[in-house]
Amino acid sequence: MRGWHGAAAPPGRDTSVRTLETTMAGKPKLHYFNGRGRMESIRWLLAAAGVEFEEKFIETPEDWDKLRSDGHLMFQQVPMVEIDGMKMVQTRAILNYIATKYNLYGKDIKERALIDMYTEGIADLSEMIIVLPLCPPDQKEAKIALIKERTTDRYLPVFEKVLKSHGQDYLVGNRLSKADIHLVELLYYVEEIDPSLLANFPLLKVISLTAIRREGSHLPPQDLTFGLKPHNCLFSIPFCPPELAARG
């Protein structure tokens, strides 16, 4: 069995060690809207690391006001994750913490620099996709066209080339890292927009199947969607604070 680079317990049917671990430590608690937005990549990373988490959804203006007035949001923003006794904010800070804790961040600072570089590129494209539901209808077509262009001309070729150049299964250091997880997440979004965008990237099609399947082989694919939000969910939330809407 391929080495497990997640938390202490190896994958398998017996998850009692991990459950004990998380029960004692308390599961991470995610504070966000009931939708993808900026929290989704955190959900993916926790899920890929085999970490169960709870969610408290912000559903009304009162929820939002309370969270802020209780002083739980450092910069008055979400995502916020309660984990290990901290109220963590800033998506990247949270992701980097989880990646370090669960050994998904490379073996040294040079590998980490590569992982960060790839992650930032993925985040730039993902950002364009995340804010799409908030885009005014008359601008949407142009935005989608730009996303498609960036996907096939700027971002996917880079990752195809990286995989081709070393012939390994993972982007960095021949083992699973957060970069692979973020990339797989992105590929799912690209596929949702237009599956034909992936046509010219054979190695990326493979990574989306093997990267998560192998390391998390005890989980059938459906388990990965635990806590993961359906497409366009951000649209359907009844309450969207003005700052979030303004970002689109």
Q: In the complex, which residues of this chain contact another protein (CB under 8 A)?
A: 74-76, 84, 86, 88-94, 96-97, 100-101, 109-110, 112-114, 116-117, 119-121, 124, 154-155, 158
At residue 83, the 3 state secondary structure works out as strand
Token code pair at residue 20: 């004990």
**DSSP track, 22-71:** HHHH---EEEE-SS-TTTHHHHHHHHHTT---EEEE--SHHHHHHHHHTT
Nearer to another protein, 123 or 224 (CB): 123
Nearer to another protein, 83 or 224 (CB): 83
Nearer to another protein, 66 or 154 (CB): 154
**How far is residue 126's CA from residue 4's CA, in Å, rounded to a whole number?**
28
Give me the torsion for CA of 99, 100, 106, 110, rounded to 10°.
120
Q: How far is the CB of 124 from another protein (least distance, A)?
A: 7
Q: How far is the CB of 245 from another protein (least distance, A)?
A: 16
Nearer to another protein, 93 or 199 (CB): 93
Q: How far is the CB of 148 from another protein (least distance, A)?
A: 16
Q: How far is the CB of 154 from another protein (least distance, A)?
A: 6
